[in-house]
Structures are given as structure tokens and as C-alpha cells.
A and B are shown apart, each in its own frame.
Chain A
Amino acid sequence: MTATWLRGLLARQYGRLLAAVCGIALSVALLASLGVFLAASKSTMTSRAASSVLVDWQVKVARDADPLAVLDTVVGTAGIRVARTVRFAQTTGLSAVTAGSTQTTGPGVVLGIPANYASAFPGEIRPLTGAGSGVLIAQQTAANLHVAPGDTITIGRAGLPAAHLVIQGVVDLPQADSLFQRVGAPAASQPAAPPDNVVLVPPGTFADLFSQLAAARPDLVTTQVHVGRNQQLPPDPAQSYISVVGAAHNLEAALSGAGVVGNNLAAALDGARKDASYAQILFLFLGFPGAVLAGVLTAAVASAGRARRRREQALMRTRGATLRKMMLLSSAEAAVLGLVGGFLGLLLARLVGSWAFGTSSFGASRGDALVWTATALVVGFTVAVVSIVVPAVSDFRQMTVASARISVRRESSPRWMRWGVDLVLLAVSGLVFWQTSRGDYTLVLAPEGVAAISVNYWAFLGPGLLWIGSGLLAWRLALTFLRYGRSPLTWLVRPLTGRLASTAAAGMSRQRGLVARSVVLVGLALSFAFSTAVFNQTYRHQAEVDARLTNGADIAVTESPGVVVGPEAGSAIASISGVRQVEPLLHRFAYVGADLQDLFGVHPGTVSRATSLQDAYFQGGTAAQLMGVLAAHPDAILVSDETVKDFQLSPGDLLNLRLQDSRTKQFTTVPFHYAGIAKEFPTAPHDSFFVANADYVAKATGSGAVGTFLVDTGGANIPGVTAQIRQALGTSASVTNILTTRKAVGSSLTSVDLTGLTRVELGFALLLAAGAGGLVLALGIAERRRSFAIVTVLGAGRRQMFGLVLSEAAVVSALGLVGGLVGGWLLSQMLVKVLTGVFDPPPEGLSTPTGYLLWTLAITFAAIFGAALITGRAASRAAVEQLREL
């Protein structure tokens, strides 16, 4: 009998079954696609973090230990690709005589680097000029000493006579921070900056120079074993972190105190695992509502056939069908739909994954993949069971045969509406939102060095409840409007229905449950599309702002330390073709009390020509207002929020800073007046800094030396202009552009490339919106084809029939649009606020992708009206067939 029942369904109700299968496939595909996204992004984060580290471990050899024995132990450890011994010696200072003048530096470091180091750790030492091996000098040191390959430098040695070496090449040390780290020391006691003065020599030269020193002052000469690993890392950064930390501990245990591991790889993975948590949260916030919506849509599709199912059930009951039999039949139907929909969904997800994320794996590991596949399939089955079996059983238990035959009954308010569940949910959502977003709210907390990550999942309740609450409220409002607003409804549909307006309005009012359901689904789908699109656009916009903030402008020319260039040097850069504007930015260090902070000097009237200043960067006025204050009052200064709190500042307060006078090299007190707060500023660090008037700073310090030239190219040919500037300036300045910075800031969360997720989500949102509108309306109309057949028999012309159908489509579209836009706007506001941690800097406002939204609306309405026209035509054509059932 079950087989007969299924065959009958396939033969007679293939349209509804197909729609339900599509809905289930959509839910499963969305969930599984998000699994693919997570897998892809986690694995990207791990590989990006791992590849960003050139020397995975720096094993510091204990003072009394034998470096060779340590090297042997390291090499004998599993998962080691390469290991090289590097020696470090402190020098008292470097000097050089060039063009008749002697340049001298402060203390520095001399490294003993083996010849094959560069090939073992490619990128760690980047040759700039001269030879790539032999005696090499760091670029900044070369600039300080004014030396080039072929010049001789003098190396000071504590307690020993100075040594002389001929420079063979100038190099850059891109990862100087980790190279010169204090291995084994906590983060707080790490040096603030790598040494300015660095010379690299071959091991033989190093031994000649420092053997005596090592014997006399072992504290000044140390040895490290630099390690490159080749162990396959788990794709999940959190697991990789645990694995790498464990391996390092294992090595330390094997060394028995002979060495301490500086774990650069773990440090990089530590950041990545935090990003991975954010990625997971993004999935929850952005993807889960879509999967739920697809499930609700499927349930709606299935319930669109409920009236028919009730009649069939009534017929079967009169023939003696029991509850068990009914359950068996509906379960068989649900199982087939769940299975087919589930597998189609997984197939779709694989295709989507390959297209959007470049992978079709459902999880970062095999276990993850299994969990995701199983979860997606279980969701598919659950949707099928909830949509088909539950209503069938509930109808069987609650309804009589006679009542099951009735298709329209006087509708009373649903129980949730009488209890005000929607209002309660919205109130709780507001409360949770207020609670989570006040004070020092952190969504993800990943304490450095601690394996556990804490995520504030409580914060999810705000948007989650808002989504459900606003959906239910939209339902309440739609029901109320359809029930009591018959006059405006009649007015609304009159252009389409003419004299049939009041009849159409009466019909919709009495079947308001059906109409309201379509309205809510369209509203929820549009709100999902709206909030997702706005969030993604805002995210992308802020990633761009972040890159611009970090680099300062399209191109930033940062003068090397020791190189003094005045603002007039900007004209040389401005003459390069492709450069539109050049803006000098002064950079000094200033003491406020005992704190040393960066100070940026700007020309308030022109600074925004080369860089963008957002109002969100400042507090106490807009960007333009505060620049106006700096122009009008040259001694005005913008300070960080922290400084305001620490020094209890009020607007207008005197703030004495100590700045170095270029003439006397002494720190002198310069008076400023506090004018506002700068939270962010182009090229400025994340922590505290000052922004002041450049002319005032130059006058007070006796120097107009520029730290950075911000160069605007109008976004055109950035790489070409960068190359030209590099060529013109040589090694006297470092030239960076926004394109490389964009990739560099990509090591943080922006590395979770949302492009794929955006594509998938926006695609699904579009499908859901079109599906919610078209499919539900079409099935609703199809369910009432008997009524349309009667109307045809009673003499309705084609135009009148279409008028009736289109009027319902118009009401669903209009109410759904209002609900979707209001709900989407609220949700976007809350999402951006709750996910503040994702944005750096926080957005000034929401960015709205108007084009996408207009397309979504157009396609949704096209689906609604297309479905209305097709089903309307089918309903009037099938009148004679329907007549046979009358």
C-alpha cells in the first residue's frame, strides 16, 4: 500500500513534491555550503598563517649547552624539514667613514649566518643591493651609516678592540620582529622594536670576531637553532595550534633544559584560530537564518498541500485507515522527500563549494566532513518530518472527517498572537542586545598562549530573537491588516480587480492565514537578503578602510630612520606621472608624562586630499570640524581616548608634551591644547597617538622633517606608480601601496575571504526570496483552483481571473516588501553592532549594496507575478476538469 501511495503521489502531485524536494535541497545545500565555507576558510587561515612564518621555531641554546648536541636533537625530532645554527652577538656600536664624515650608531646586533641559511629559509633575508652572501648589512643600518657595498664599517666589541669589515651587500630583514625576539620571555617583556643596527656575517667571520667575547662575556653571545618544519598541519587552526605547541613542548622535553623553543608558528596560528572562531560566528549569524528560512519555506510548501491532504486523509479514514497507517504513509513520503532532497542538496553544495570556495570538502577534516554531511542530511529529514508527518498526525488526532473536508474556516488568532510571543521575543532581544553591547563587550576572546577560545554565544540571542520576533510581528500585523483593513485592502486591489475589488478583498481577508504566511515568508527572505547584503557590503567597505588606514593612502612613502627630508621633497614625488596628490605627514615621538607616543603632524587644510578621514575616526566633532580646529588653533591637539581618561582632560585643557628639538637633540616641552579625540588615523598605530598641526610641530622642534608622504593616484595604476617612486627614491625610503597592504592586513580576519560566502549567501538569499514569493503564492493559488474554477464557471473573463490572482500577488509583494525592509534594516543595525569585533575600524554607518537589493526585489517580484500569472492561467484552463469534481 505504501508503494501504491507513493506512486500515486508521484503521478498526481509531482509539482508539490518537486517543490518540497527543492525546499529541502535548498536547506541542506545552504548548510552544507557553509560547511564547505568553514572548511575552506579554516584551511586557508591555517596555510596562510603557516606560510607567513619563515622560521617556524627559534630554539635558544642554553648558555652551558652544546649547540651541536642541540642541533642533533632538533634534527632527530619528527616533522623537522631543516635546522640551521644562527649566532647572535651584541655590539657596542657601529661606525663608518664616508665622504669625509664619520657616522656612528648605538648598540646593535651581529648575526652569524651559515651560507645555506637563505636557501633553507627563503625570504628571511631579502637582498637589496650587492652580494646576497658574505658580510651583509641591514637596509636601515646602511642608511644610518650612509654606507653601500664596498664600504668599510667598524664593529665595536665590548672589552675588545673594534673590528673592520667590508660590506658586500645590503639586505632587508622582513621578519625582524620574530628574528630578534627574546626567546622564552613573556609577550610583555619582548622588545618594543627590533634593533636598528644589524650586520650579518658568515660563521667563520663570526667566530673570528666574537670567540673571545663569547668566552669573556657569554651573556653577549648567544646561539639559536632555526627550524623549518614539514609536518602536515590539521586544516583547523585551533587544532594546528595545539599540535604545534605540543610538538614544541615535546622538543623542549627532549632537550632536557638545553634549549627553549620560540614558537613563531604557534604565535601565527594563535591569531588564526581567533579568526577561525570569527568565521564560525559569521556562519552562525549570516548562514543559519538562511538554512532556517529554507526549512520554513519547505514547511510552507508542504503545508500548502495541507487542505488537500486533509481531504485525502478524511477519505482514507472513512475507508478505515488507522493512525498507524497514516503515520506510515506520511513517514514514507517524508523519508523519500528527505532522502532525495538531502542528496540533491549535498550535490548542490559540492557544486557551490567548487565554484565559490574552490573546494568541495564539507569539513576541515574527515571527521568534520562526516559531521557536516550528517547534520545537513538530518536537517533535511527533520524539515521533511516536521512539514509532512507532524501536520498529518496532528490533523488525524484533532480533526473529524467532516471538518477535514473544509478548506476555509473562520480564523481565530493563533495562540502565540494571543500570548504576545512576538512582543516578548522582541523585548528580550532588545534586552540581550543592550546587555551584550554595553561596556567592554568582546565577542571572541582568545587569550594569548591559552588553547581555549571563549566565544560570547549569548550575544547571538539578540539578532536571533529579533529575527524570529520581527517575523512573528510581521505575521501579526499582516493578519490584523487583512482582518480589519478591508477598506484599504479594497482600495489597494481596485486597480487590478475593478468592480471585483471588494470580493477580492473579502476573499483575502477570510483566507488571511494563507496570505499572511506568504507575506511573512517574503518578508523574512527579503530581510535575510537585505541584512546579509548590507553586512557583507559594510564588511568589504571596512576591510578597504582598514587597508587604507594602515597604508595611509594609495601609496605611502616612509622615510628611512636617519633620513631627513623636508616637505619640499614632495614636489619630486608629485612630478612622477600618475601621482595626483602628495601630502606630507610629520612623524615624531612625544612624551606625555612618562608615556612615549607617536605624534603625527598634518596640514589640516590639505590632508584629506591624499587620504580619507572618516568621521568615525574621531570623537568630539566630525573629521572636517576637527581639522578646522587644528587649522584655526595651531596648538590644538587630538589625543587618544585612553590619554583623555588617564590625564582627565577636558576640551581646551593645556597638554604639555616633550618633543625632541632637532637643533639641540634635547627633549623640550611644547604646549598644546586638547581639542578632541582621534581613535584612528592613517598610518597611526592602534594604541595611543597624537594628531597636531604640522607647521606648529615643525616650528616647535625646529624641523619640518617628514615621516611619510601620502600619495594619491586616484586608484589608477598603483603598482606602476609605486615602481616609479621606488626607482626615484632608491633605498632612502620604503614605498608601500594599498594593494600589498590589503594582502598584509589579510592575515587578520579579512583573510576569511568573504567573497565566496557572500556569493553563496546572496545567491541563496535571492533563491529564497524568489522561492518564498513565487512558490508559496503559486501553491496557495493551486490549492484554491476549485474556487477559481467556480469563478470561471460563473462567468469570469480572463482579465478578471488575472485581476484576482494578481491582486493577491500585489498584496503579498507590498506587505512583504515593507516587512522585509524594516526587518532587514533593524537586523543589519544589530548584526553590525553585535559583530563589532569583526570590523576594524568600526564602521561609520551601514553600506547598502543598492544594485544587489534592487535586483533581489526585481527577481522576487518577477517570481511572484510570474507564479501568479502561470497559476492563474492554469486555474482558468483547468476549470472544466475541476468541474468534474464539483
Chain B
Amino acid sequence: MSAKAIDEDGLDSALVRLESVARTYGTGQSAVVAVRDATGSVPARARLAVTGPSGSGKSTLLQLMSGLDRPTVGTVSWPALAHRHLTPTRSIAMVFQGPSLIPALNVEENVALPLVLAGQTDRDAHAAARSALALVDLTDLSDKLPEELSGGQSQRVAVARVLASRPRLILADEPTGHLDAVRGAHVIDVLLAAADQLQAALVISTHDPAVADRMTSRWRMSEGSIRTAQETVRL
């Protein structure tokens, strides 16, 4: 699946589409181009690895895909998720490399938070949160504060939070970056299982080949550009 191939296959069913996207931080001589001329799209139920060395623009690309950041040049759209150019925040969920849980909320409250923000009642949100925690096998930790969890547990809670909000596109930015190989593999298992269960597309940025190998397609990034034309990985 390359940028071009996605272009050809995606049509209106693409969850996210990038058209000649660039993102520059700063201005003048201190300007840094994080992403340049990126074109591609992610179809439903895709399993995509975005690989490349540190500083190659993987995180920025995911943030642009999530709608949290806006491109300096080009267009990001979500044809299958929302009206063109409007950010479909409710249908996209993100897992971050570092701790992304609210320190002042316990595990269950953290998982329920996106649902409460989306307008669900406390009772419904917490019920959904408990179900999501059960799916990642973390029911026992629901009363714990983030400070009381290990790195792997924190990432699994972050995945449970994704599960609870039932997105159609999961973006995971180096989700195993802070974990050892065993715990990292476990988090990827959980992410893949969650994506399968939600029938959602999963995009993982990573520089770990073992993680990338578990995805069906791969974009290789270098100096802000998507270099690889097409690379389909058979699992």
C-alpha cells in the first residue's frame, strides 16, 4: 500500500486522505520542515506502520492525520468520517508514546473521560469504561491512579480508553517506545485485538521493525517525506 496505491483504491471510503501536505514549525531561518509533500490515504480496517528514524516526521504526520495539528500546505481530509475538512475527533483515537493518562483521575475515570466529553452520562460512560477495561484485562486496576501503574499497564489503559470511545481510526504514536520487548509486544497485541474488535483502521508509527512487521502495510519516512511507494507485509 503506497501513497499512490491508496489514492487509486481509497476513493470516498478512505478514512483519512493527505494531499501534498507539509508542516513547517517556526518561520524564517529557524523554520523546521517536519513533513513535506506527503500524499496518501488510509482505507477502512487498514493496518499501517509508519516507520523511519527519529525526527523523520512520523509523530507530526500522525497528528496531522488525527486533526490535532493543521498542515501548513496541502489538505488533510476524512472522507469516510466527516464532512470534508472538518475534524472528526469523535471517530479518531490516539495512543501516545509517553504517559497520556490524567494523573488526577483513576483508571476507570480516565477511560470514561472521552465518553463524558462526548456527552454521555456518567453512568453510561463508566459502564463502557468497565467493559473496555475488561477487554484489556485491567478490571482489577480500575481504582488505581496512573502513578500506581507500570508503563505497560498505562499503555493498556490508554488502549482501553481508545476501545471505550469506539473510533474507526486508531493512531498510535510509538506506543511501545518506553517499553521493553515483551511488554511492547503485549501492547501491540492489545491494539491489534482492539482494532479487530472495533473493525477500525490502525496506524502505528514505530522505528521497531518487529512492530512494523506485524502491520500489513508500511510507509517509510525520511526527512519529512513518505519515501516508500508500496510495501505490503504478509503476516
Residues of A with Cβ closer than 8 Å to B? Answer: 406-410, 499-500, 502-503, 506-508, 510-511, 784, 787, 790-791, 793-797, 800, 879-880, 883-886
Contacts and interface: CB of A to CB of B under 8 A. Distances in A.
B97 interface: yes
B137 interface: no
Interface in B49-83: 59, 63, 68-69
Interface stretch (B38-46, B102-110, B195-203): B102-110
A886 B145 contact: no
A781 to B, nearest CB: 12
B147 A409 contact: yes
A499 B116 contact: yes
Given A406-B147, A408-B145, A880-B69, A794 B98 contact: no
A793 B114 CA distance: 9
B165 to A, nearest CB: 8
Interface string B9-38: 000000000000000000000000000000
B117 A510 contact: no
A368 B122 CA distance: 65
Contacts of A510: 104-105, 145
Interface stretch (B88-96, B179-187, B224-232): B88-96
Contacts of B106: 506
A883 B63 contact: yes
A503 B105 contact: yes
B102 A787 contact: yes
Interface in B100-138: 100-106, 109, 112-114, 116-122
Among B99, B102, B146, B161, chain A packs the most CB atoms within 10 A around the CB of B102
A410 B104 CA distance: 9
Nearest to A885: B98
Nearest to B118: A795
A499 B104 contact: no
A406 B154 CA distance: 13
10 contacts: A502-B122, A503-B109, A506-B104, A784-B104, A787-B102, A795-B89, A795-B90, A880-B63, A883-B63, A886-B98
Interface in B170-218: none
Contacts of B94: 793
Among B104, B106, B109, chain A packs the most CB atoms within 10 A around the CB of B104
Given A794-B113, A794-B117, A880-B68, A507 B105 contact: yes
3 A-B pairs with the lowest CB-CB distances in the bound complex, closest first? A408-B103, A886-B96, A507-B104
Given A406-B147, A880-B63, A886-B99, A787 B104 contact: yes
B147 A883 contact: no
B113 A503 contact: yes
A795 B114 contact: yes
Contacts of A503: 105, 109, 112-113, 116
A787 B146 CA distance: 12
Given A506-B109, A510-B145, A886-B96, A795 B102 contact: no
B122 A787 contact: no
A883 B103 contact: no
A500 B99 contact: no
Contact of B100 (A409, A500, A502, A790): A790
Contacts of A793: 68, 94, 100
Contacts of A508: 104
A800 to B, nearest CB: 6
B102 A791 contact: yes
A659 to B, nearest CB: 82
A24 B231 CA distance: 62
A508 B105 CA distance: 9
Contacts of B113: 503, 791, 794
A879 B66 CA distance: 13
Contacts of A499: 116, 119-122
Nearest to B95: A886
A508 B116 CA distance: 17
A500 B116 contact: yes
Nearest to A490: B122
A883 B25 CA distance: 14
Nearest to A403: B147
A842 to B, nearest CB: 51
A883 B68 contact: yes
B68 A407 contact: no
A758 B159 CA distance: 60
A503 B114 CA distance: 11
A511 B147 CA distance: 13
B117 A500 contact: yes
Contacts of A407: 103, 147
A879 B119 CA distance: 21
Contacts of A507: 102, 104-105
B117 A800 contact: yes
B116 A511 contact: no
A797 B116 CA distance: 12
Contacts of B146: 408
A800 B113 CA distance: 12
Contact of A886 (B100, B116, B121, B148): B100
B62 to A, nearest CB: 10
A24 B150 CA distance: 41
A407 B103 CA distance: 7
A883 B96 contact: yes
Contacts of A796: 117
Given A510-B105, A787-B102, A886-B97, 11 more contacts: A499-B116, A499-B119, A500-B116, A506-B105, A507-B104, A790-B102, A795-B89, A795-B117, A883-B69, A884-B59, A885-B98
A797 B122 CA distance: 18
Contacts of B96: 883, 886
A408 B96 CA distance: 20
Contacts of B109: 503, 506
Contacts of B103: 406-408, 787
Contacts of A406: 103, 147
A885 B106 CA distance: 21
A886 to B, nearest CB: 4
A506 B101 CA distance: 14
Contacts of A790: 100-102
B104 A408 contact: yes
Contacts of B121: 499
A131 to B, nearest CB: 90
Contacts of A511: 104
A868 B90 CA distance: 27
A820 to B, nearest CB: 26
B69 A794 contact: no
Contacts of A795: 89-90, 114, 117-118
Nearest to A880: B69
A585 B40 CA distance: 103
A410 B146 CA distance: 10
B17 to A, nearest CB: 21
B68 to A, nearest CB: 6
A661 to B, nearest CB: 88
B117 A791 contact: yes
A400 to B, nearest CB: 13
A409 B120 CA distance: 28
A653 B165 CA distance: 90
Nearest to B120: A499
A512 to B, nearest CB: 10
A796 B96 CA distance: 17
A502 B118 CA distance: 15
A410 B145 contact: yes
A499 B59 CA distance: 32
Contacts of A880: 63, 68-69
Contacts of B97: 886
A641 B181 CA distance: 92
B120 to A, nearest CB: 8
Nearest to A410: B145
A89 to B, nearest CB: 92
Contacts of A797: 117
A784 B104 CA distance: 10
Nearest to B69: A880
A797 B89 CA distance: 11
A503 B108 CA distance: 11
